[in-house]
Structure 1
């Protein structure tokens, strides 16, 4: 056997050593980036990938790209259908009564000292950033970079807050947030670290102010009406009857529906001269029609519904266009194959169903939120999942993706197995919900309950003591309360048992503190 010369051995050793950094770099590069795009009040009915009556009238081709290249979830349910508490649940992986954020009102501030998933991702080498809507009172923690909207934020010429203070930028909020997000990804890529980006849009939150490129997009479109637009709330309890979120009564002709010119509008007083001119060119003819039409009754409701849809869906068109910008950037920058893209919203929203806008109720349109996930080489393109997942699960899902060992007391569960096409035998079959913010805006009474694939049991417990139960298979629009009906007695008993089990599991109780109740009553007196 011929021996290698010392020189040949030396060369071989040098080559082996030289290869080591490349191997380490390859391992590091396989840890995926996470881009979490999160909108405010985006109803799943307004995403064309979900089908439904609006898909051909107001398509969302770029959000649909995520579904086409990944997985669409049909049963993503929230823990509390309102902005701040949903965001707190996502960050902490806990229900609001444990993370301390159950209501937008009363000066509630998210406790940034608690464990959150961005902090845990930092610990395993991720660069973390958040840009856009925050809406949690306190300053963000767990982020290497943050630039957020104070409070609800403005659509036009918005303010942003950083650790250094506030500043105002010229332009439209959806486009500005996307610009900042892309700049963040460029910087993160240059540092050669995996990154988390939480890209959080203000749109399409009330007052639904479309951007300059979408102002006239749907002005001549007549949208189909939901079958329950003129719901009279028969066969249901006081909560549905006594809410204050109807298109007919609650929706304002001025700020919501823009029936005053730009100079007189509240938040749109921020428009500069060119923006105001473009605004008035679109809305002045609509205002003239409304003033001359003298609409009443159902005709007025129908007019308000169309105005609502025209503006709301135009805001979403702006979001969709900018989702496309993010997807295009990832491809152009060579990041697409190693980046997970998630699209979701803080909860669902009513688009005229039951005659309503807004959210809060445990009924289907506000309980369900959109969830679409693209994970190249892992998620089968075009797949659809019908298992019950929750915004409570997002934290632990991101943690598993990032390789964080789950040693926390979070209450959710990673749905990475579902993304891989495998539903564990013990995956949840029932979801727990609790809404607290009453008395307050829209006057939806406090309630908790559970939802299974087919049934829903709800207890309205404050100001009333009423139970509701729905069979979603027989009554998908939730028009008939079947609680107490003899033919459902066994199902009802089983649902009560499962409800109590979940309340114990999640450490929940009937009432909030007296202090919170007093704050609620004080807010109500102020509103009146």
Structure 2
């Protein structure tokens, strides 16, 4: 069966993606993450490296315009379709967002946000000022993304496709935005790790269900296949998990652990590996193959992750250490060799 597919997505540092790296999409509008959000460049399907064009429009708005064009074509057919829209904002150049969204937050009392956030550094510090200088624009970006996702939903409804379409809203990562003295995304704190996962399918899923199952982005591959009735077609080598039953039933899955990875591409012997349970965040860091840092946070008692309790809870650290090592061995991660069998 041929399923029309399209994508409008960001690809880090790629100048025209060759066909073999387009994940089987029939139609492709790719943004190479150059972060010029108000006038981004795109490559279309078979375009060579030098054949890009400028949208002359804020990225999310342009991408949803193209997605709506695609949906209108699908309405003419009874065949199923797949559509992926990956918006770049909120991403640095936070200020590159239409003024209509900035206006919403120009009077936001930023200090009131910081008042009860011990993880936000003080005013006058590098990361404290980074948060204060960027958070209004960051919120503006999110509001713009929300509005454009809404446009897509409304088009599905107008075309009478919404009720039998699986819609997934998620993100590839969060961002610390100055919290914990970090501007970035590749660290174990909640600001970085915890992202939205909203799934709509009116014909099959009861609306407004808060499901506390922890799902990683990689789990969506087997989960979506299973939701669509293709569970028997999930390849045996897939190492992520099928949560279709949990999503369709609205009942939390008993699996309560997800892995955390921070890989340093130019030095695979250095980086973080860890686990996130329903209560704890656990991570170990290695430098050149030697473990030199262990962190453990109790998010129930310490929601802002201000106190590393690894030395206070050795028994729990040993249990999580063992579980992490087993996970790394199961996934053939060479990092497992840096973790001793017994701690």
TM-score by length of 1: 0.56
> What is residue 121 of structure 2 aligned with on the other side?
230
Q: Is the alpha carbon distance of 1:511 and 1:167 closer, same or farther for their aligned partners in structure 2, counting shifts above 3 Å?
A: farther
1:148 alignment partner, SS class: strand
Q: In structure 2, what is the Cα distance between the partners aligned to 1:129 and 1:450?
A: 34
Report the CA distance between 1:207 and its aligned residue.
1.3
Alignment of 1:85-484 (within 5 A): 124-135=1-12, 137=14, 138-139=17-18, 140-162=22-44, 163-164=46-47, 165-208=51-94, 209-223=96-110, 224-225=113-114, 226-230=117-121, 248-249=125-126, 301-302=128-129, 304-404=130-230, 405-421=233-249, 423=251, 427-437=254-264, 446-462=271-287, 465-484=292-311
Q: Which runs of 4+ in 1 moved over 6 A?
A: none
Report the CA distance between 1:408 and its aligned residue.
4.0
Cα displacement string for residues 140-171 of structure 1 (whole angstroms, at most 9, x for unaligned residues) = 23001101112434212221101123112222
Q: In structure 2, what is the Cα distance between the partners aligned to 1:247 and 1:356?
A: 15
Q: In structure 2, what is the Cα distance between the partners aligned to 1:177 and 1:424?
A: 34
1:433 alignment partner, SS class: strand
Q: Is the alpha carbon distance of 1:343 and 1:402 closer, same or farther for their aligned partners in structure 2, counting shifts above 3 Å?
A: same
Q: In structure 1, what is the Cα distance between the partners aligned to 2:329 and 2:68?
A: 44
Cα displacement string for residues 299-358 of structure 1 (whole angstroms, at most 9, x for unaligned residues) = xx45x4333111111111111111111111111111111111110000122244324332
1:456 alignment partner, SS class: strand
Q: Alignment RMSD, CA only?
A: 2.5
Report the CA distance between 1:511 and its aligned residue.
8.7
Contact 2:37 2:93 in 1 (8 A): no
Q: Is the alpha carbon distance of 1:352 and 1:131 closer, same or farther for their aligned partners in structure 2, counting shifts above 3 Å?
A: same
Cα displacement string for residues 240-299 of structure 1 (whole angstroms, at most 9, x for unaligned residues) = xxxxxx99436xxxxxxxxxxxxxxxxxxxxxxxxxxxxxxxxxxxxxxxxxxxxxxxxx
Which runs of 5 or more structure 1 residues have no equivalent in the other structure? 1-123, 232-245, 251-300, 513-528
2:133 alignment partner, SS class: helix
Contact 2:239 2:331 in 1 (8 A): yes
Q: Which has the larger radius of gyration?
A: 1
183-192 or 461-470, which deviates more: 461-470
Q: In structure 1, what is the Cα distance between the partners aligned to 2:84 and 2:296?
A: 37
Q: Is the alpha carbon distance of 1:369 and 1:472 closer, same or farther for their aligned partners in structure 2, counting shifts above 3 Å?
A: same
Which runs of 5 or more structure 2 residues have no equivalent in the other structure? 338-343
Cα displacement string for residues 182-237 of structure 1 (whole angstroms, at most 9, x for unaligned residues) = 11111122232111110110111001111243233312221311232127xxxxxx
2:325 is the counterpart of 1:497: no
1:365 alignment partner, SS class: helix
Alignment of 1:67-82 (within 5 A): none
Contact 1:447 1:462 in 2 (8 A): no
Q: In structure 2, what is the Cα distance between the partners aligned to 1:158 and 1:230?
A: 33
Q: In structure 1, what is the Cα distance between the partners aligned to 2:275 and 2:124?
A: 28
**Structure with bigger RCO (C-alpha 8 Å, 6+ apart):** 1
Q: In structure 1, what is the Cα distance between the partners aligned to 2:177 and 2:126?
A: 15
Q: In structure 2, what is the Cα distance between the partners aligned to 1:377 and 1:192?
A: 17
Contact 1:446 1:461 in 2 (8 A): yes
Q: In structure 1, what is the Cα distance between the partners aligned to 2:287 and 2:234?
A: 36
TM-score by length of 2: 0.84
1:384 alignment partner, SS class: coil
Q: In structure 2, what is the Cα distance between the partners aligned to 1:349 and 1:125?
A: 38
Contact 1:132 1:200 in 2 (8 A): yes
Contact 1:152 1:202 in 2 (8 A): no
